[in-house]
Amino acid sequence: MTFKEQIQQGIPEILPQPKPYEIEINHAPKRKEILSPDEKKLALRNALRYFDPKDHVELAKEFYAELNTYGRIYMYRLRPEYEMKARPISEYPGKSEQAKAIMLMIQNNLDYAVAQHPHELITYGGNGAVFQNWAQYLLTMKYLSEMTEEQTLTIYSGHPMGLYPSHKDAPRVVVTNGMMIPNYSKTDDWEKFNALGVTQYGQMTAGSYMYIGPQGIVHGTTITVLNAGRKIAKNKENLNGKLFVTSGLGGMSGAQPKAGNIAGCITVCAEVNPKAVQTRHSQGWVDEVVTDLNVLVKRVTLAKANKETVSIAYQGNIVDVWEKFDAQNIYVDLGSDQTSLHNPWAGGYYPADVDFEEAKNMMAENPELFKEKVQETLRKHAAAVNKHTAKGTYFFDYGNAFLLEASRAGADVFAPNGIDFKYPSYVQDILGPMCFDYGFGPFRWVCTSGKPEDLAKTDAIACEVLEEMAKSAPAEIQQQMQDNIQWIKGAQQNKLVVGSQARILYADAEGRIKIAEAFNQAIAKNDIGFVVLGRDHHDVSGTDSPYRETSNIYDGSRFTADMAIQNVIGDSFRGATWVSIHNGGGVGWGEVINGGFGMVLDGSADASRRLQSMLFWDVNNGISRRSWARNDEAIFAIKRAMETQPLLKVTIPNLVDDTILDNL
């Protein structure tokens, strides 16, 4: 069968032969036993409903074995024979170009070079899933190949519920992930209902088909490191010879060493998983690999003396690095952590003093002991960081729930008031006031032709737009404009592409609209192929996350989720090609609500109309909320937006003189 025919058949009538378990692939760890015998039968009934009853006897035994061996039913047998990668849009079958673009994005999320655990359909973060099983993937791709632009596909936590009549301006796909009733949104609830096959953790861009590899986070990480450096450096532009220590080389965290190189510092990034280290080193995202702490100390000492720009992966536990550097008086300028602590008990964080393979076994076979070991390590981790900050290190929480989980483990991470953390979130200190409040966030695009030359053309178009905008931009956002111009000019030489021909660029609403319109005009002239627009949910208005994206909201509303819900509803009727809303992402299930979108540009007047409407709302919804929270930068930004758009009327807060309240 051809590739198109395989897509169109969906779940095959004649079952393929079972596939061997490929040990060279980076697999998800075994999930802990959480289902009762009766619940296991329910999980099997749920899985078997995808298949003809004639196959139930054979598959029941196989799926039961998967459930007992891995803690989930992945349906490995149904993995496609074709290579999993984003193909040029012309290679996909279908009646709708928009649907073909979505198929491209789904396959990019599952590309072996992109996905953390591709055979388990997990893109990043240890549990950020595109689908729960391979039947869902096959059925979704089949539906997309049949869809017209008068239909919408509804996806419930990976399950394609079906195609429904709609209209050409409706989203082609609406995705929900992990939308549990609040009282059933705790860690064990997630484990149980995911094992039953009725919900999944879509992370931020995994379950919404908008992940573009570590490049997707590298720009934000670069901006964060640059501006963290500006906070500590006497020379505001120079990080030469400064040391940045962090950990994690997985899907999201893998961006850190590349960002450190772009920012011009020395980066030491610890990672316990040898396959993750090998992957990032082979992709050129980290320069050197070290496995011995004494060698690491010598290498860092030399790099400091020579003021090198270099990234070093330490294959081992981050706690050992912090403790060794303290003992050897290696001064750390910047510190953070990007291990997946939203998922601490299932592979997101590993205990020190326990072998990696032994820890994986302990995780599944003795979860209580594993939890004890992790919490013990978190206490040691925080204690080691505290020793460095006492010497002057600037440490910031990367919103990955490090401080949150450390606090739950009893670590010394609270400020004197016993309520706030002693270290700021990077959003509180850096990205919030410097970017999000002004409307700057991670705008993305993917060239559906698959041609590197199309990506180069879009880079040039974006740069031209930004340089023209910078000529008249107000002083308040000149730094953001220049940082982004510098970023896009260096994008090609920094070799950021992994998987699809994609790019990320921090831009505000004006920038996003002008860049998108310029792309659409280039498509109309046949200068480039179709372009998919999107963004990380980690943005101005897509996410309500009290310890990360909205951690610099101080009016008490950071624990509400109106903004993310309004974002997705508004995007859906303003022209998005697909929309998604997730419970969980980045900081954990129950800790955050994420909204996202994708939009296909085809060079048409319809695309121009949609992008103008949707992109304006997508950003200004968040600025409005941040303005109402009394954030000065956001008040400035929303007033500026109202000057440019007469139909925009936003409620502006009246500020209260503190002395009035102090004298009550």
Average pLDDT per consecutive 10 residues, the chain (664 residues; last block may be shorter): 97 95 92 95 98 98 97 97 97 98 97 94 90 98 98 98 97 96 88 96 91 82 88 70 92 83 94 92 92 98 96 97 98 93 87 93 92 96 97 88 92 91 88 93 96 97 97 94 91 85 95 98 98 93 91 94 97 97 86 95 98 98 97 97 96 95 93
Q: Which residues pair with 338 in a beta bridge?
A: none
- For residue 155, the cross-strand partners are 160, 175
Is 314 assigned a ligand-binding role in the annotation?
Answer: no
- Is 125 assigned to a binding site? yes
Q: Does 398 count as an annotated binding residue?
A: yes
> What is the structure's pLDDT at 541?
93
**Residue found under tokens 């008249």:** 472
3-state secondary structure of 414: strand
Q: What is the pLDDT of residue 340?
A: 84
Q: Which residues pair with 598 in a beta bridge?
A: 534, 578
Vertex 496: Cα angle to 493 and 499 (nearest 5): 135
Integer Cα distance of 256 and 233 in angstroms: 20
Could you give the CA distance from residue 548 to residue 482 in angstroms, rounded to a whole number? 25
Q: How far is CA 257 from CA 249, 260, 270, 618, in A?
A: 9, 5, 10, 30
Closest CA to 304 of 281, 262, 278, 333: 333
CB 571 within 8 A of CB 579: yes
Give me the amino acid identity at 141. M
The set of residues, in sequence order, having a beta carbon less than 8 Å from that of 618 and lying 6+ positions away, is: 509, 512, 535, 541, 542, 567, 570, 571, 597
The reported pLDDT for the residue numbered 13 is 94
Predicted structure pTM score:
0.88
Q: Domain spanning 433-660: which CATH class is it, in words?
A: alpha beta
* 3-state per-residue secondary structure call for 318-359: HHHHHHHHHHCCCCCCEECCCCCCCCCCCCCCCCCCCCHHHH
**Which residues are paired to 175 by β-bridges?**
155, 580
Helix (H) or strand (E) holding 247: strand 243-247
Angle among Cα 67, 30, 38 to the nearest 5 degrees reads: 30
Per the annotation, does 271 bind a ligand? Answer: yes
214-413 belongs to which homologous superfamily? Answer: Urocanase like domains (3.40.50.10730)
pLDDT, position 516: 98
CA-based angle 92:94:100, to the nearest 5? 55
Q: Where along the chain do the CATH 3.40.50.10730 domains lie?
A: 214-413
The CATH 3.40.1770.10 domain(s) of the chain lie at: 3-196, 433-660
Per-residue pLDDT at 350: 95
Query: What is 3-196's CATH number, 3.40.1770.10, 1.10.3470.10, 3.40.50.1700, 3.90.226.10?
Result: 3.40.1770.10
Our CA angle for 332, 337, 338, nearest 5°, is 145
**Is 178 assigned a ligand-binding role in the annotation?**
no
